[in-house]
Structure 1
Amino acid sequence: MSAVPVTPHPVSADAAPAAPAAPRLLYKPAEVRTGWRVLPTRMAAMCAVEIQKLRHDRTELYTRAIQPALWLLIFGETFTRLRAIPTGGLPYLDYLAPGIIAQSAMFIAIFYGIQIIWERDSGVLTKLLVTPTPRAALVAGKAFAAGVKSVIQAVVVVIIAALLGVALTWNPLKLLGVALAVVLASAFFSCLSICIAGIVLTRDRLMGIGQAITMPLFFGSNALYPVSLMPAWLRVISKGNPLSYEVDALRGLLIGTPSHLPLDFGVLALAALAGIAGASALLGRLAK
């Protein structure tokens, strides 16, 4: 009996060899953050950088505490004895302390544009702008980093005021509100400084303009005296001054005077957002 040969079936040219199975990953790859999701990370990174600077060099913190201490010790104590400014039965030193907190925070933030110009001159800003991070994220990170420094400065002023006998609240929720008001106001003033830096482009000009506007902002607010004592034209300026809303919020939270907290925080939040938008638009001009 002879064997019958088996004819192999022809292989179709269209048939492809089976692809090997893809290996199963034992971990999930990190998700790439884009757009607005970069903002919290960048803000946290900038705040961490500023805190690291203070850890390595506390000289700025000590020197900046001298001016508010002098305001409280000399100006506050003197006018408390004179009783020249009506504060509704509140000791003038107590009335003044929140205004000095706001003033010291503003003085830190209003010259923040100098750091941006230094980063431009050293090439750091150009490297930041070519990253995929949105400009608004960069500006917001730097603005709220200035807010962190201002909060640390505010803590120093609060301690000095407490040592002088100012009747401050120690309610944790109210203190958190104080920190939020300081951060929002400092974010606006630092963005204002960045906007000025984007226009003048040099440190010398920025220093001159910063010194020219700090005192009008300070004296054009309710930091030193009630709005009712101001002339009519100065009241109009005070209503458009974000520092007035910060001081009103700090007084209401720290010493319990009548205030308009929803309006105060609303104005400060809108001012901070407007400042971030304006500074983001002018940031690219610095890198040219």
Structure 2
Amino acid sequence: MSEAPAAPRSASADRAHERGIDLLLRPPVPRAGWRVLPARVAALCAVELQKLSHDRTELYTRAVQPALWLLIFGQTFSRIRAIPTGGIPYIDYLAPGIIAQSAMFIAIFYGIMIIWERDAGVLNKLLVTPTPRSALITGKAFAAGVKSLIQAVVVILIAALLGVALTWNPLKLLGVAGIVVLGSAFFSCLSMSIAGIVLSRDRLMGIGQAITMPLFFGSNALYPVAIMPGWLQAISKVNPLSYEVDALRGLLLGTPAHLALDFGVLVLAAALGITAASALLGRLAR
């Protein structure tokens, strides 16, 4: 029996065949760096967040401390009325500071994770890939920001249940998310920079514990800058946490704030943090 004639190929199939031959003869043109870098940052950020899906207990345990600050410290000082808050209840004044504090506490120990990756051999494998070190650090920094953002949502819900008069304007809440992510990105990069210097989890843990409370008490999270002694006011002006808290109060409570300055300082701090952590990353791999 004679074979049936083969069906003629379509024009699209011919073009696909030609493209396949072209790829065999000529290597594909690499994408421009400005297109590759965001994709790699997003991929690394997604990898970091996948770790959270395997163990959600961290979110629950970290919600205990901010809840205690609002329930005990906030309600007690609301009764005392010893701290001038511009006519708003002290627990309302405190809530944005606790949001910033809880986000900072998540980010400031992020360097421990990168040291663990060094010890497990994961970091060396990442550093031999074509991914720039800045993309690796940026991905981890913004993953810390997203984790902190989840924590901020928990604190906002607790504050709302306690009767704190927060705004629910979607645009302002979007600004709150941006502020939390930028602040956390800076503190996580600060932690990774310290990790690149001390090279040890134990040393990093000690330094992290030593600087978190001074950063917290040296900001406007608990009390206005105006009632601080002069030397503490000077520290507060160079403390990124103060700008984060100022922006959160302005967005969530509608109090007077310097939003443009706050955003600008946090963007600059995050950029400097990414630069410093990227430069020190190579010391961890030695």
TM-score of the superposed pair, with normalisation by structure 2: 0.90
Amino acid corresponding to residue 120 of structure 1 in structure 2:
R
**Retained in 2: the 8 A contact 1:35–1:134?**
no
Q: CA deviation at 1:52?
A: 2.2
Moved more, 106-115 or 23-32: 23-32
Opposite residue 252 of structure 1, the aligned amino acid is G
Residue 256 (structure 1) aligns with: 254
Identity of aligned residues (%): 80
Letter in 1 for 2:54: H
The Cα RMSD (Å) is: 1.7
Q: Which amino acid aligns with 1:104?
A: S
Which consecutive aligned stretches of 4+ in structure 1 deviate over 2 angstroms post-superposition?
26-39, 49-56
Residue 197 of structure 2 corresponds to residue 199 of structure 1: yes
Quick check: 33-42 or 137-146, which moved more? 33-42
After superposition, the Cα gap between the structure-2 partners of 1:151 and 1:25, relative to the gap in structure 1 and judged at 3 Å, is same
Match of 2:13 in 1: none
- The correspondence of residues 273-288 of structure 1 with structure 2, limited to 5 A, is 273-288=271-286
TM-score, scaled to structure 1: 0.89
Shift of 1:33: 3.5
Partners of 1:164 and 1:31 in 2: CA distance: 58
**Greater shift in the superposed pair: 68-77 or 28-37:** 28-37
Tell which deviates more after alignment, 276-285 or 27-36.
27-36
Match of 2:127 in 1: 129
Within the alignment, does 1:25 sit opposite 2:49 as a pair?
Answer: no
SS state at 1:125 partner:
helix
CA distance in 1, matches of 2:35, 2:148: 26
User: In the TM superposition, what is the alpha-carbon distance from 1:178 to its structure 2 partner?
Assistant: 0.3
Find the counterpart in structure 2 of residue 91 from structure 1.
89
Distance 2:49 2:134 in 1: 21
Once residues 98 and 79 of structure 1 are traced to their aligned partners in structure 2, the CA distance between those partners, rounded to angstroms, is: 16
SS of 2:231's equivalent in the other structure is helix
The one-letter amino acid of 2:141's match is A
Greater percentage in helix: 2
Compare CA radii of gyration and give the structure with the larger one: 1
Report the counterpart of residue 102 of structure 1 in structure 2: 100
CA separation in 2, counterparts of 1:189 and 1:284? 19
Matches of 2:253 and 2:143, distance apart in 1: 27
State the match for 2:184 in structure 1.
186
**2:153 equivalent to 1:159:** no
Structure 1 residues without counterparts, runs of 5 or longer? 1-22
Corresponding position of 1:81: 79
Does residue 38 of structure 2 align to residue 40 of structure 1? yes
Q: CA offset at residue 34 of structure 1? A: 5.2
